[in-house]
Amino acid sequence: MKILNKITDNRINATNLLIDITLGEYDELASLILKENPFQRKRVKTSGTVYSLLKSDLKEGIVIPPLVLGLSLKEVDRNLNDEALIEVIKENKTKLLILDGLQRTYTIRDLLKELKDKNDPLLEQISAHPLRIEIYLGINKLGILYRMLTLNTGQTPMSSRHQIEIIYSDYIEHGVEGVRLIKQIDNDTPNNLGEYNFKDIIDGFTSYLERDYLTIERTDILDNIKSLEKLAVENQNKDLFVQFVLIFNSFVAKMNQLGNGWTYNADVMSKTLGGAPFAKNVIKIFNKSQVMTGFGSAIGKLTDLKAIQNLEEIKALTAQIVATDANEDFNTLTVRLDDLRSIAKKIGNDQRVFFHYFFRELFDNKSDGYLRLGEAISQAYSQYERRTKE
C-alpha cells in the first residue's frame, strides 16, 4: 500500500488519499469491510453480464477506475507523513466503508476465489496486479452520505435510506450514549426506555433528512442532494444522527415521566376499541416507526419554516411539555388511533400522518397544542380528519 497523492475536499472537510494497492491486498481489506458491515449493499444481480466481462478483463490486466472508500474518524491528524497515514488506515480498517465500487469489489473477490479454488497458477500474477483506490480520511458520516450520493449515479442507485443505514450501522454494537439500538435479526424487542429498533430509528432520521413522514426511498440523485444541502449548516461540528437519537429519546423519557406508569385499561376507555390498542404502555407507543417518522418529518418541517432553530431546541421545549391529566391524555390518544383505523386507507401511513401533525402541534408556538399534550392530540386528530376529507 502506497500513497500516491493527497488533496483536501473542502466541500466535506476531508482528505482524499490516492493509494496504490494490489488486488490481493484489496481482497483482504474488502473481506473485513463486508464482514464488519452487514448493511453494506449486496451484489446487483442484474449486472451479471457486465461483471462477468470485467472478470475476464481482469485476467488480461485491465486497469479499472479507482474504487472509493471512506474512513470516518473523529480525530485524525491529516498532516501526518505517508507512512503514519497508512498505519492509521491499517489500524482502523474495520471501520472502512466502500462508497463507490462495491460491485467491482465483488467481482475482484469472485475472481481471486475461483483462481484459488482451482489452484490456478494465475492467482499469484493476478493478486499482484496494481489497483488504485481513493480513501476519504477524516470524513464525518453525513459527508460520507454526500459522497455516496454523488458517486453512485449509475443505473442501480441506492436509496438514501439504505445508505444512511449502512453509514450508521456501527452504532448497533456500541449504542448512542446509553441508547441501545437493536437489529431485527437479533430476535430482540425494545421494551425499555432507551431501546429502539435500529431500522425504526433510521426511518425517523431519514424522515428528518427528507422532511417526509412516508419515508419514500428516493434514489433520485438531485432530490437526495437537495435534502442534504438543507443540512449543511446544521451538521457542522456534530453528528446529526446522534443528536436526533438522543433528542427523540429525551422526548420519550418525558412522555414516560408524564405517563407515570400508564397502561392500557379497556375498562376506563370512553369507547370499546375496534381491535387491539396501538400500544399498551407509554414506551410501546413511542418506540414505533410511525411515531419516529412523524417526529422526524415534523421537526424537519418546523426547522424549514423557522418555527424552531434546530433539533437542539426541541430538547429544551420537551422539558416544558405539560399535561393536566396524562392518563386521560394517553387514553384519548389510544381512542383516536383506534378511530383512525376505521377511516384509514393505509393504516401505517395514516398513523404517520397523524403523528406528523401531533409533533407539529406540540412544538409550533403558533399552534393551539403548543407544549400541551392533550390539546396536541386533539388538534392533530382534527388536522388528520381535515386532510382525509380533502
- Note down pLDDT in tens along the chain; length 390 residues: 999 999 988 877 788 999 999 999 999 999 988 887 766 655 655 455 666 788 888 888 888 889 999 888 767 787 889 999 999 999 999 889 888 888 899 999 999 999 999 999 999 999 999 999 999 988 777 777 777 766 655 445 556 676 777 778 878 878 999 999 998 766 688 999 999 999 999 999 989 988 888 865 544 544 555 555 555 445 555 678 899 999 999 999 999 999 999 999 999 999 999 999 999 999 999 999 999 999 999 999 999 999 999 889 999 999 999 999 999 999 999 999 999 998 998 999 999 999 999 999 999 999 999 999 999 999 999 999 998 876
Question: Are residue 206 and residue 142 in the same domain, yes or no?
Answer: no
Of 151, 184, 204, the one marking the end of a domain is 151
pLDDT of residue 375: 98
pLDDT of residue 217: 52
Cell of 11: 466541500
> Who contacts 262 (Cβ-Cβ below 8 Å, separation ≥6)?
281, 282, 326, 327, 330
Cell of 144: 460520507
What is the total count of domains within the chain?
2
Rounded Cα distance between 355 and 384, Å, is 9
Question: Are residue 178 and residue 236 in the same domain, yes or no?
Answer: yes
pLDDT of residue 219: 46
Domain housing 101: 2-151
Rounded Cα distance between 8 and 17, Å, is 9
165 is a domain residue:
no
23 is a domain residue:
yes
pLDDT of residue 37: 72
pLDDT of residue 218: 47
Question: Are residue 178 and residue 138 in the same domain, yes or no?
Answer: no
Rounded Cα distance between 181 and 190, Å, is 8
Question: Are residue 135 and residue 196 in the same domain, yes or no?
Answer: no
pLDDT of residue 157: 52
251 is a domain residue:
yes
Question: Are residue 344 and residue 218 in the same domain, yes or no?
Answer: yes
277 is a domain residue:
yes
Helix, strand or coil, per DSSP, at residue 12: coil
156 is a domain residue:
no
Of 87, 117, 151, the one marking the end of a domain is 151
Question: Are residue 97 and residue 190 in the same domain, yes or no?
Answer: no
pLDDT of residue 353: 96
Rounded Cα distance between 280 and 250, Å, is 20
Residue 63 sits at φ, ψ, to 5 deg, of: -100, 115
Question: Are residue 119 and residue 204 in the same domain, yes or no?
Answer: no
pLDDT of residue 189: 87
290 is a domain residue:
yes
pLDDT of residue 38: 65
> Who contacts 327 (Cβ-Cβ below 8 Å, separation ≥6)?
259, 260, 262
Question: Are residue 107 and residue 205 in the same domain, yes or no?
Answer: no
Question: Are residue 81 and residue 208 in the same domain, yes or no?
Answer: no
Question: Are residue 30 and residue 122 in the same domain, yes or no?
Answer: yes
Question: Are residue 179 and residue 277 in the same domain, yes or no?
Answer: yes
163 is a domain residue:
no
> Who contacts 130 (Cβ-Cβ below 8 Å, separation ≥6)?
20, 21, 22, 23
Question: Are residue 217 and residue 119 in the same domain, yes or no?
Answer: no
333 is a domain residue:
yes
User: pTM of this prediction?
Assistant: 0.73
pLDDT of residue 215: 60
Of 101, 121, 151, the one marking the end of a domain is 151
